[in-house]
Amino acid sequence: MAEHWNKHDMDFLGGRRLRRSRRTEWSRAMVRETVLTPADLIWPLFVIEGQNEKTQIKSMPGVERLSVDLCVEAARAARDAGIPALALFPNTPDHLRSENAAEAYNPDNLMCRALSAIKSAVPDIGLIADVALDEYSSDGQDGLVRDGEILNDETITVMARSAIVQAKAGADIVAPSDMMDGRVGAIRAVLDGEGFDQVQIMSYAAKYASCFYGPFREAVGSGSRLRGDKRTYQMDFANSDEALREIAADIEEGADSIMVKPGLPYLDIVRRAKDNFNVPIYAYQVSGEYAMIEFAAAAGALDRTRAIHESLHAFKRAGANGVLTYFALEVARELGR
């Protein structure tokens, strides 16, 4: 009976056997639809004061905060591995944080010194500077605060000043990550007015109010001082159409590329952005996503290497042009081999 079925009843497939192309590794490689390369990866670095200084981040095993000189070494390693760009995030010393976040536009702040040092030593790697106030404010919010309210327009003024000092220090891309209304247009106008018309803007256009940012806030020193939450400016994770409106607004204001953050829980947003907008789209595999893979692998729940590669391919498959990931250097070296 089985032999009779094999010979005749497979006719309903029209001769198609989809497993044929999956039978061998060489055949799977031939028909593979999504390819990951080092050029798809952006490596986030956390910067601290000091010389030859590194500190562990408890909730992100394997990720360290690095002093500026060690960031330069990391940039050389990234360049040699084929990574095109770094994204920098400073952990500003407590005594320099304030209610008005004035350190954000100090031309000698930690971010600017890191940008300048890396650009001088490794000029052929791209530098992405985070533009937000949580790394400089005493309350951990991305905007200025008055009587418990996050101020939109006043925040933009400070962010624009911050973007200028970053551009002067060597930033190739400024990345506003705050979700204030109108900040992309304001930053574009100020950059152009100061002669930095070639500096790109990578907008965190669809940034959700997410629990997956916890380890990042520890890394930049804003988590313990955060008062309240960020739901009045970061997006509601229940919404999808709203993300398209945010992205459209930022593109109209002059964004060169846009970002969706977090990553894996929001692949539907990446796909919708890809289908609707003709601009480069990036996704951020955020600290909580990194931590989940690391802690699950440490517990023996999954294969670490396979989980990393599967997750990164998911971003590319969804339509992302690139991924900000803390796994960048490790993966780029693996791909290079």
Would you state the pLDDT for residue 83? 98
Choose, from 119, 230, 261, 316, the residue flagged as catalytic: 261
pLDDT tens digits, 78-91: 999 999 999 999 99
Sign of the CA dihedral with 167 first, then 171, 175, and 177 last: negative
In Å, the largest CA–CA distance within the chain is 82
pLDDT tens digits, 279-331: 999 999 999 999 999 999 999 999 999 999 999 999 999 999 999 999 999 99
Can 274 be counted among the known catalytic residues?
Answer: no
Which residue has better confidence, 38 or 9?
38
Q: How many CB atoms lie within 10 A of CB 171?
A: 27
39-257 belongs to which CATH class?
A: alpha beta
Phi and psi at 84, nearest 5°, equal -80, -25
Residue 267 corresponds to which tokens in the numbers above?
Answer: 């692949």
Domain ranges of the chain: 39-257
Which one, of 134, 142, 337, lies nearest residue 220 by Cα? 134
Share of the chain above pLDDT 90, in %: 90
Would you state the pLDDT for residue 9? 58
Would you state the pLDDT for residue 10? 57
Residue 100 corresponds to which tokens in the numbers above?
Answer: 């008005």
Please answer whether residues 270 and 260 qualify as being in contact, where contact means their C-beta atoms are separated by less than 8 angstroms: yes
Can 207 be counted among the known catalytic residues?
Answer: yes
Choose, from 207, 230, 274, 316, the residue flagged as catalytic: 207
Would you state the pLDDT for residue 8? 54
Amino acid at 73: E
pLDDT tens digits, 238-251: 999 999 999 999 99
Residue 4 has pLDDT above 60, yes or no: no
Specify the DSSP class assigned to residue 235: B
Would you state the pLDDT for residue 280? 98
Number of residues that this document lists for the chain: 337
Would you state the pLDDT for residue 245? 98
pLDDT tens digits, 251-260: 999 999 999 9
Please answer whether residues 78 and 329 qualify as being in contact, where contact means their C-beta atoms are separated by less than 8 angstroms: yes
Residue 228 has pLDDT above 80, yes or no: no
Would you state the pLDDT for residue 16? 83
